[in-house]
Structure 1
Amino acid sequence: MKSSMLFRFGWAAAACLAALSAQAQTVDSGTWMVRARAVHLDPANDNSNPAVPVSINSKWLPEADFSYFFTPNIAAELILTVPQKQRVSLAGTQIGTLKHLPPTLTLQYHFPMQGFKPYVGAGINYTRFSSVNLPAGLSIDRNSWGGALQVGVDIPLSKNMVFNVDVKKVFIRTDIHAAGTKIDTFKVDPVLVGVGLGWTF
């Protein structure tokens, strides 16, 4: 799968940078970190009703996040992007489009290690669906709440800059209705593999 290949490539790049990095970057309590990432979204496209095989497309998207370190090892991260337009397909044939805005908030633990700093996180996602363009009679719920899991690593490039690899599993789902009757629960549940840069201040 694409996400698996991206995952391996990202971690290989991180391992190489970690091997080259001799810096032991420390993050103090009260530090902010801002990251910019390119992220590949790979949806699970799971349907509760096999007779309604709805799916959306994979895509690359921009992502920005803002982290605040309560201690050198514990941080909260707000993950943001712009509304993303997706193609909606049924059994492989496009039937419409929609946009989604999925801000996510996680609480992270950063492991103190020489030369690189891996972290794990868990939190909550809220997704708002908008600009829904589907065939007449079809509709979806516009709001989704779900969990989020995260693992990543920051590799120091300078005193205030890091290279970042980040992988998230986000649980996003919506009910599909036909003429007002629920016919399916569509689980987007994407894996998001991202690479980017971060700055502390």
Structure 2
Amino acid sequence: MLKQISLVVLLGMSASAMAGHWQAKVGASVVAPTSDSKVAGGALTVEADNEWAFTPAVEYFFNDHISTELLLATPINHDVLVEGKSAASLKHLPPTWTVKYNFKNKTDFTPYAGIGLIAFLPWDESTHGILKGTKLKVQEDIGFAGQVGVSYQPKAWNNWGAYVDVRYAQLDPKVDSSLVDKFDLDIDPLVYSFGLSYKF
């Protein structure tokens, strides 16, 4: 399912390359989970920690107002905390696709807002601490994503610009463990991003 959705998105973006403008972004993000999970009948609290990520992105502008953006990332290494202590780790990729409305105006600042989808692609799960010796498998997930931000592109910078934005993602991947019953790992992160852009 995730591969099919990714293919549709990429084909759609490729087909649109006949017109409009492309923009490349190079930035960094803080991935900050906002939720946690109660397991073992509510006796234990499980949560993911905050992490930094390098997050390049590519954006296509259909016109001055409508664009679509694909946020990518280098692999993110998340710690999983049980009762506040690190007990597992995993790597994942969070490709995020949004359709955006850009509030173009007469200033150099352009606010924008978008909605779309985020995928959660985990691998390389390992356990330690309280979970050492147990098996852990985190499943793929896909959820809705929302985005608000602002770009800054003064004429003196030619095609260069800067941006800051924040995304909210609905992510609750299922976790299989040999210690407790299957549960949803409630992550639901806020993703704070900033960086530079270049419009072609």
TM-score (norm 2): 0.80
The SS at the match of 2:63 is coil
In structure 2, what is the equivalent of residue 65 of structure 1? 57
Structure 1 unmatched ranges of 5 or more: 1-28
Deviation at 1:48, TM superposition (A): 5.1
Q: Which residue of 2 aligns with 1:14?
A: none
Q: Structure 1 residue 30: deviation in Å?
A: 0.8
Which residue of 2 is the match for residue 187 of structure 1? Answer: 186
Is 1:175 matched with 2:174? yes
Distance 2:175 2:140 in 1: 12
In the alignment, structure 2 segments of 5+ residues that lack a partner are 1-18
Q: Within 2, Cα distance between the matches of 1:111 and 1:81? A: 26
What are the Cα deviations for residues 135-160 of structure 1, in whole angstroms up to 9, with x where unaligned? 44442332011000000111114220
Q: What residue number does 2:147 align with? A: 150
Are 1:98 and 2:98 counterparts?
A: no
The answer to whether structure 1 residue 117 and structure 2 residue 116 are counterparts is no
The alignment's C-alpha RMSD in Å is 1.8
Instruction: Please list, as runs of the form range in 1=range in 2, the aligned pairs for 1:1-201 lying within 5 A after superposition.
Output: 30-47=20-37, 49=39, 50-115=42-107, 116-134=109-127, 135-157=132-154, 158-179=157-178, 182-201=181-200
Opposite residue 146 of structure 1, the aligned amino acid is: G
Aligned residues between the structures: 173
Contact 1:140/1:174, CA 8 A, preserved across alignment: no
Give the CA deviation at 1:181. Answer: 6.5
TM-score by structure 1 length? 0.80
Conserved? CA contact 2:51–2:77, under 8 Å: no
The 3 A distance-change label for structure 1 pair 81 and 107 is same
Deviation at 1:114, TM superposition (A): 1.7
Q: Larger relative CO (CA 8 A, sep 6+): 1 or 2?
A: 1
Q: Distance in 1 between matches of 2:38 and 2:49?
A: 18
* Separation (CA, whole Å) in 1 of partners of 2:137 and 2:71: 24
Q: CA deviation at 1:176?
A: 2.4
Query: How far did 1:124 drift?
Result: 0.3
Secondary structure, in 3 states, of the residue corresponding to 1:45?
coil
* Residue aligned with 2:106, SS: coil
C-alpha contact 1:138 1:176 (8 A) present in aligned 2 = no
2:53 is paired with a residue whose SS is: strand
Deviations 1:147-178 (A, max 9, x none): 00000111114220111011100111112233
Q: Is the 1:45–1:54 Cα contact (8 Å) retained in structure 2?
A: no
Secondary structure of the corresponding residue to residue 53 of structure 1: strand
Distance 1:114 1:155 in 2: 12
- CA distance in 2 between partners of 1:52 and 1:177 (Å): 16
